[in-house]
Structure 1
Amino acid sequence: MNERLLVTGGAAGIGKAIAERGVGAGWDVIVIDQSPASVGRSIIGNLADLASTAAALDEALSGGPITRVVNNVGAVFPAAVEDQTLEHMSASFDLNLRSAVQVTQALLPGMKESSFGRIVNMTSRAALGKEHRTAYAAAKAGLIGMTRVWALELARDGITVNAVGPGPIATDLFLNANAPGSPRTRAIVDAIPVGRMGEPHEVARAAGFFLDADAGFVTGQVLYACGGLSVGVNPV
């Protein structure tokens, strides 16, 4: 069986932790990111751009089919609804949502030929609702919807599709969207039931469960790695 894993946005943070877990599992790991990756095979590509994404995928697939993928790349674009620009809405959909469709479409022929596939979409607890997250929450909620649709469409091909929804994780993505020490950031951390922020390797472990060959009876699910922050919120 093909043992190749593609991680988008895998040069840092959660994506890097997932790439490290893939290497630890003995898989051939490929990372597409606009920055060089230190784990696995690094392919430079701007996943917000159609042509750049296509070129990066061609390079990744030149070594053969890829049967595992984590659609991890993302950006937040924080703003209150009255300040949310349509340009940032479009940019959020391109990076957080469209790239997942484009990447998955490119890999599906190889997965179907292998009668095996593991697709993990990185959504967010913010999809359940969070202030100043119109562009981000809309895109991440869209990923949840696509996860459920793809799970139904691809199940007979031996392909599972699941999503991981991180809560506040100690990464640059979080710190860039939540000013350290601000009252709003302190309120977020104080609200986490386990009393701390999560670490990238903890999200990678959740993704690793879905990527495992033995997880073939689990599909269409969303696992919130959020320290309990989603408890009491009606999940999608």
Structure 2
Amino acid sequence: MSIEKPAALVTGGSRGIGAAIVQKLLARGIPVVILDREAPAEQTDARFVRCDLTDLAATKAALAEIAATNAILWLVNNAGIAAPASLEETTIEDFDKVVAINLRACILSAQAALPAMKAAGKGRIVTISSRAALGKELRTAYSATKAGVIGLTRTWALELAPHGITVNAIGPGPIETELFKSANPHNSPRTQAIIRGVPVQRLGQPEDIAHAADFFLSDGASFVTGQVLYVCGGMTVGVAPI
């Protein structure tokens, strides 16, 4: 394993929050590999590797190829899907798909990155959770997996701290991505109700999450690990435990 070509790996980095994080990393001069099902929506200097993260064999192969050509010293587990449904309407097929992307891919990506991180004696892992981890209606699969991400974060933080590797999570509130806007038109009563429920009275932007990730991924965050930062405009105040 060579560490001569260090790079960051961002899953789901082609659009939305992931794309904003990719730009932050590139701005710091860090080479980036995007692992995503779809190509980046905009021109980027990042390397793109196409992969459907629900396909176990394809995911393992893609990660092995990336790890063989780059030392992954920064990992952002951003890829995720929601499959919103009530408990009665949640299917096991949908649940398994959400688990594959929101949890299994995190584990596989971290396992692929660890050899280089351990060899370098340092590393940064950031995983995107959600305020839905605290509970949200119509989100059986999503809230379960996003809460699971927090469990992974805390466990890995303890296991990997002796190797100089930090592990942290970010819990976004409602973020105005293209996916969000397609499901929540700006002038719809539902969207306006969401905005009224945010103490700062606006939706978050992908860059808001990217700023938080940029801190966790920096050298200056070496004494911060096992933490969950809710970037939610104040929505979790009074809900998240101290």
Normalising by the residue count of structure 2, what TM-score does the alignment of the two structures yield? 0.93
Q: 2:82 — aligned with what?
A: 76
CA shift in 2, pair 1:97/1:173, >3 Å: farther
| Partner in structure 1 of residue 7 of structure 2 | 4
Aligned to 2:30: 27
Partner SS state of residue 58, structure 2: helix
> Which has the larger displacement, 42-51 or 180-189?
180-189
Question: In the TM superposition, what is the alpha-carbon distance from 1:187 to its structure 2 partner?
Answer: 2.0
Shift of 1:92: 0.7
From 191, 201, 211, the counterpart of 1:205: 211
Residue 108 of structure 1 and its aligned partner are, at CA, apart by 0.5
Confirm or deny that 1:18 pairs with 2:18: no
User: How far apart in 2 are the matches of 1:235 and 1:172?
Assistant: 31
Q: Structure 2 residue aligned with 1:133, among 126, 139, 146? A: 139
SS at match of 2:35: strand
Listed as ranges, the matches of 1:165-204 within 5 Å are: 165-176=171-182, 178=184, 181-204=187-210
Determine whether 1:217 maps to 2:223.
Answer: yes
Q: How does 1:43-192 map to 2 (within 5 A)?
A: 43-176=49-182, 178=184, 181-192=187-198
Shift in CA distance, 34/66, structure 1 to aligned 2, threshold 3 Å: same
- Deviation of the 1:134 alpha carbon: 0.7
Could you tell me whether the CA contact under 8 Å between 2:154 and 2:226 is conserved in 1? yes
Q: Deviations over 1:12-54 (max 9, x none)?
A: 0000000000000100111000111243111111112111111
> SS where residue 27 of structure 1 aligns?
coil
State, as a whole percentage, how many aligned pairs show the same letter.
51
Q: Secondary structure at the match of 1:82?
A: coil
- CA drift of 1:210 comes to 0.3
Hey, what's the Cα distance between the residues in 2 that align with 1:176 and 1:148? 34
Supply the RMSD in Å over aligned alpha carbons. 1.6
Gap runs ≥5 in structure 2: none
Aligned AA (2:82): V
d(CA) in 1 for partners of 2:238, 2:201 = 17
Aligned partners of 1:78 and 1:177 also within 8 Å? no
Residues of 1 paired with 2:75 and 2:239: CA distance? 28
| Amino acid across the alignment from 1:7 | V
Deviation at 1:55, TM superposition (A): 1.8
Shift of 1:175: 3.5
Report the number of matched residues.
Answer: 236
> Contact (CA 8 Å) 1:75, 1:173: kept in 2 or not?
no
Residues of 2 paired with 1:178 and 1:101: CA distance?
Answer: 31
**How has the CA–CA distance of structure 1 residues 87 and 235 changed in structure 2, closer, same or farther, with 3 Å as cutoff?**
farther
Asked if the contact 2:6–2:71 (Cα under 8 Å) also holds between the matched residues in 1, the reply is no
**Aligned mates of 1:177, 1:84 — CA distance in 2:** 19
